[in-house]
Amino acid sequence: LLLCSTSVIEESFGYLDAPVERIAGADVPMPYAANLERLAVPQVEDIVRAAKRACHRSVPMAAAA
């Protein structure tokens, strides 16, 4: 996956409207308890939040027309 995002950045940077963002798990050992495991692993809400950050950027006036 990292290789894919790297090639997108290198080959298509001029076409991107927002920077590529990495969504990863917490930098902790994987917990055994299920409730703590959910906190350590990326969840759907994390992905949605990152997508909204990328999509809700201001659009220049010329591009909006």
d(CA 39, CA 54): 23
Structural domains in the chain plus CATH codes: 1-56 (3.40.50.920)
* Residue of 15, 14, 17, 19 whose CA lies nearest to 5: 19
Mean pLDDT of 55-61: 60
Mean pLDDT of 24-37: 92
Global pTM value: 0.60
Contact 57, 18 (CB under 8 A): yes
